Amino acid sequence: MQILAFNGSPRKTGNTSALIKAMLKGARSAGAKTTEIRLHDINLKGCMGCLTCRKRPGKCKQQDDLSPYLEALKTCGGAIFGTPIYMYHVTGQMKMFIDRCYSLYVSKQDGSGYTSAVPPGKTFALVTSQGHPDVERFQKPIRWFAGMTGGGLGMEEVGRIIQGNSHLAPAKTDEALLEKAYAIGRKLVKRDEA
């Protein structure tokens, strides 16, 4: 099975990247194939607001480097969504990705909300990193982040890492945190599907 990781940090060797790397290592150890999508490094365009996806559910008219990965979300086994906290919220790169995910939300006929174009049975995990020491500090945007990605798309959350105090305790040297990430990565892989 395929595990995708959408990384909203511009820093290749930063905290979010180290934690995602550990999660993907865990997923591979459980038999998965993994792909990391570094949103900062691909040709990523924002949502055009064309609303074509309201008529063609599951299809985004915007064509760029993200297009194949939006499609891959429908066939993968699970996904990681990771971002640093910038200005009390997700990074701009992650917000652009989330706006594009609107194409994966199918409007209900009666206007009462949305269903998901992503088939059920998939797992997801969350990674966030922040300078602030209190890991409860950005609870609201992190709840929103989970809801707009895996949660809203009907995936089952298997774990999350909210790293605080990142400048004093960088993730890449925090063995306990890396181990936790590795264990969550293993949980992303459903035993019967590896």
Which residues contribute to the site for ligand FMN (CB under 6 A)? 9, 11, 14-17, 84-88, 129-132, 166-167
**Comparison of 15 and 103: residue with beta carbon closer to ligand FMN:** 15
The contacts of residue 165 (CB under 8 Å, 6+ apart) are 131, 132, 133
Hey, what are 180's tokens? Answer: 């936790």
Residue 16 or 123: the one with the smaller Cβ distance to ligand FMN is 16
CB of 100 to ligand FMN, least distance (A): 21
| Side-chain-facing half-sphere of 95: CA atoms under 13 Å | 9
What φ, ψ does residue 11 adopt, rounded to 5°? -100, 115
Identity of the residue, 21 or 190, whose beta carbon is nearer to ligand FMN in the bound complex: 21
Long-range contacts of 45-52 (CB under 8 A, 24+ apart): 45/96, 46/96, 46/99, 46/100, 47/96, 47/99, 47/100, 47/102
Q: Cβ 15 to ligand FMN, closest distance in Å?
A: 4
Q: How far is the CB of 18 from ligand FMN (least distance, A)?
A: 8
* Chain centroid, CA 70 distance in Å: 12
CB 133 within 8 A of CB 164: yes
Question: Please, what is the minimum distance in Å from the beta carbon of residue 44 to ligand FMN?
Answer: 17
Nearer to ligand FMN, 16 or 62 (CB): 16
- Cα atoms found within 13 Å of the Cα of residue 185, Cβ hemisphere only: 29
The CB-nearest residue to ligand FMN is: 14
**Residue number, 17 or 62, with CB nearest to ligand FMN:** 17
Q: How far is the CB of 59 from ligand FMN (least distance, A)?
A: 31
